[in-house]
Chains A and B, each alone.
Chain A
Amino acid sequence: MTSLTLCHAEPRRLGPLGTASALLLPIAVVNAIGFLWPVVNLLKMSFREAQASGALGAGYNLDTWTNALTDSFTLELITNSVGVSLLITVLTLIASYPIALYLHRSTGTWRTVLMVLVVAPLLTSAVVRTYGWIAILSDRGLVANALMALGMAEPPRLMFNLTGVVIGLTEILMPYMILALLSGFGRLDPRLEEAALTLGASPLKTFWRVVLPLTAPGMALGGLLCFVLAISSFVTPKLLGGGRVFLLATEIYDQAIVTLNWPLAAALSMIVLVVFGISLTLYARALRRIA
């Protein structure tokens, strides 16, 4: 009885703004505790004093930052991560473009089936897909056994090095690239290609001069997405790199969990965020030039 009257009276007493605040309070609390505060704390952490024991000093200084930015290992980490991520982005684009173009041209049930095949890997854990790549690339894996069957005595090592990480991440990021490309393919009217072909352009020239420029916005979006996901990915470099591939994301984890140098881990995270900011700016500039 009391709860019923409460139900009726509550919203009326609060008014629309009060009701909205009450409904938004839980999510605001979660967001503040789980996002805003941790991010601010992360920035502060990068200026804390790090002690060899893993404990934190009381004061704040620039030591972690000056050490990180003058240390050749950190600089190598940054250039390595950016370089590998760029390579992966280009390879993902090359591998995804034919699929996206083919999907754009297909219709009906066939298109739905292909779409499910593109989305399905996205819904399976990165651990599962990385494990699949271990099965293909390891010394007793599919590729090595196939090469040995063909008579090669010592097949090249494809795992526990950069090659494996690049192959694995390229495949894992393909669904994102395909979906981004498709979202940008709306401007690609098949009649434009037909017109170019009728007017005497070769198929290659039509692709280069008509199809490619029209799909550039989708390529820029997919490129941004893949670069950002590649530089922050952790599971695949760790498992396929076998501890021999050093990238920003794996180093952040190691510094936080193994070495317990939290200020350095925080500084490296901030560097990742700076790289994010730069790539977003470049994307915005590229988009303006395309349009």
Chain B
Amino acid sequence: MDERPVSPALKIAAGLMFLFLLAPLLVVLPISFSGDDFMAFPPSSWSVKWYGAIFANSVMMNAFWISLALAFVVTVLSLGIGLPAAYALVRLKPPGAEALSNLFSAPLLLPTIVLGLALLLVFAPMGLIGSFQGLVAAHLIVTLPYAVRVLSTALANLPLTVEEAAGMLGARPLTVFFRVTLPMMRSGLVSTTALCFLVSFDEVVLSLFMTGPRLQTLPVAMYNHVDQQADPMAAAISVLLVVLTLAVVLVVDRTAGLTRTFVK
């Protein structure tokens, strides 16, 4: 399908670099089926025992349910807070809308290590460290900017004429929003949901500052596990996480188009 000839040297260089880029993901799959008690590559025998080990490991299972609940709550709140904000910024354009939208995306510019420390210093005296509420608040800081940005783009790309027509035909503003605007920005809503869910589910640095010994998210539990012993169980969890991510990405691709969502 190439229109322009590509020199063989470039092909080889790009191929090698792709191999380097995908290497860590490529080795994780065979290791997850290792029969060894420690991590070695290539493994000396094969089994599925490490997948069974995940379900027998109460720390990992608890952490998984906490991460799932956390990602769900954070996603719902991001949509609930981000959608009105995006509507106000794009449709109502109050004075200073541009400055406000810069302020709302500013948390993404801050390195997460700095943001994590800043949140720790404020949340610790309030007793929010190691609490679910603290985790929700910390994750919201980083998911909301994505939500507002994607939803604003979705809103700005909608043709205004349909909404105006509905308004002229007597529909009230709220009816127009729920019956016309919202259904039309379906792909933006799907992308936002997927993005917020994945960002929250994968978030590790902020969570490391926010979690205590009693309450761990899955990435934090994995981090602690790998830090102490890098056995093949971490590989099995990694494979399941990659499968979960792929499933989410496929759903987004079907409904909204992957490249339009993430590459722009």
Chain B residues with CB below 8 A from A190, complex form = 4
18 A-B contacts, Cβ less than 8 Å apart?
Answer: A21-B94, A23-B87, A24-B85, A24-B88, A27-B82, A38-B115, A38-B121, A102-B13, A108-B1, A110-B2, A121-B21, A123-B249, A125-B202, A131-B222, A132-B25, A138-B230, A174-B20, A265-B117
CA distance A132 to B39 in the complex (A): 11
Tell me whether A34 and B137 are in contact in the complex, defined as CB-CB below 8 angstroms, given that A135-B235, A140-B40 are known contacts. Answer: yes
Are B24 and A19 interface neighbours, CB within 8 A? no
Q: Which residue of A lies closest to B137 (CB)?
A: A34
Instruction: Kindly provide the distance from the CB of A128 to the nearest chain B CB, expressed in whole angstroms.
Output: 4
CA distance A236 to B149 in the complex (A): 28
- Given A20-B88, A42-B121, A228-B111, 10 more A-B residue pairs with CB atoms under 8 Å apart are A19-B92, A23-B88, A27-B84, A30-B81, A128-B25, A128-B241, A138-B230, A142-B41, A171-B24, A273-B111
Are A38 and B111 interface neighbours, CB within 8 A? no
Chain B residues with CB below 8 A from A129, complex form = 24-25
Are A132 and B17 interface neighbours, CB within 8 A? no
Instruction: Kindly provide the distance from the CB of A220 to the nearest chain B CB, expressed in whole angstroms.
Output: 18
Chain B residues with CB below 8 A from A110, complex form = 1-2
Contacting B3 at CB < 8 Å: which of A107, A128, A234? A107
Are A131 and B245 interface neighbours, CB within 8 A? no
Are A23 and B238 interface neighbours, CB within 8 A? no
Within 8 A of B (CB), among A240-269: 249, 252-253, 256-257, 262, 265-266, 269
Are A136 and B23 interface neighbours, CB within 8 A? yes
Tell me whether A117 and B7 are in contact in the complex, defined as CB-CB below 8 angstroms, given that A123-B245, A145-B41 are known contacts. Answer: no
Chain B interface mostly helix, strand, loop or mixed? helix
Contacting B121 at CB < 8 Å: which of A34, A238, A262? A262
Interface size counted on chain B using CB atoms at 8 A = 89
Chain A residues with CB below 8 A from B94, complex form = 16-17, 20-21, 24
Contacting A272 at CB < 8 Å: which of B24, B111, B204? B111
Are B1 and A107 interface neighbours, CB within 8 A? yes
**In this assembly, does B169 line the interface, its C-beta being within 8 Å of a C-beta of chain A?**
no
Encode contact with B along A195-234: 1 for CB under 8 Å, 0 otherwise.
0000000010000000000000000000000001001111
Are A30 and B140 interface neighbours, CB within 8 A? yes
